[in-house]
Amino acid sequence: YAAICNPLLYSSIMSPALCGRMVLGSYLAGLSASVFQLCAMLQLHFCGPNVINHFFCDMPQLLLLSCTDTFFVQLFTALLTMIFGVINVSVIMISYVYIVISIMKITTSSGRSKAFNTCASHLTAVTLFYTSGMFVYLSSSSGGSSSFDRFASFFYTVLIPMLNPLIYSLRNQETKDALRRLQKKSRYC
C-alpha cells in the first residue's frame, strides 16, 4: 500500500521500527491463536490408537484421536480461523481498494500497467495462501484423513510456499526468458 499510494514517502513510512512492530504483532497474533488452541486441546482425553492417518500432525487429525466430544474445540477452531482470516483478508482487500484507486489516478497506461503488474504477484500469492488455508481449516469433512484432505493440506503447507518464489520472480525478465527457452526446448523434444 505504501509503495503504490505514497511512493515518495515509503522509506519514511516503513521505518525499521514500524517493520519490527509489524513482525512482532504478527508473531504475537499467531502465538496467541496457537496458545488458545493448545488450551482447548488440553481439555480433551485421548485413548485408543495413536496413529495419525496423515503426513503431518495438525489439529483436525488430533481431534480424530480424541475419545471425548470435540464439537466445542472444532467450533472454537472455526471461530479463530474466521476471525484471523477475515481480519487479515479485510485489511488486505481494503488496502487493495486504495491501491486500485491510486493506480487509476495514474495518467499513462504504461504507468498503470507497471503498477498493476507490481501488485499482481502479491495478490496471487495471498489469494492462493488464504483460500487454501481457510479451505483446509473450514472444510466440511472434519475428519481430516481422506485423500482429498491430505492433498488440500499438502497444497496449503508445501505447494503454496514452494510456488511463492516462482510467483514473485515471474516479474523478473530473466525468469520470463528462461521459461520461454524451456517452453521452446520442450516443443522440439
pLDDT band at 143 (very low <50, low <70, confident <90, very high): low
Closest CA to 153 of 68, 56, 77: 56
Q: Quick: pLDDT tens for 164-189.
A: 888 878 777 777 788 888 888 877 76
Q: Scanning the structure block, which residue is given the C-alpha cell 510456499?
A: 161
Q: How many domains does the chain have?
A: 1
**In which band, very low, low, confident or very high, does the pLDDT at 141 lie, cut at 50, 70 and 90?**
very low
If you average pLDDT over every residue of the chain, what do you get?
83
Q: Which domain holds residue 108?
A: 2-188
Contact 84, 66 (CB under 8 A): no
* pTM exceeding the 0.85 threshold for the entire prediction: no
Distances (CA, A) of 112 to 1, 100, 105: 15, 9, 8
Q: What is the pLDDT of residues 38-48, one digit of tens each?
A: 999 999 998 87
pLDDT band at 32, cuts 50/70/90? very high
51: exposed, middle or buried (Cβ count in 10 Å: 0-12, 13-18, 19+): exposed
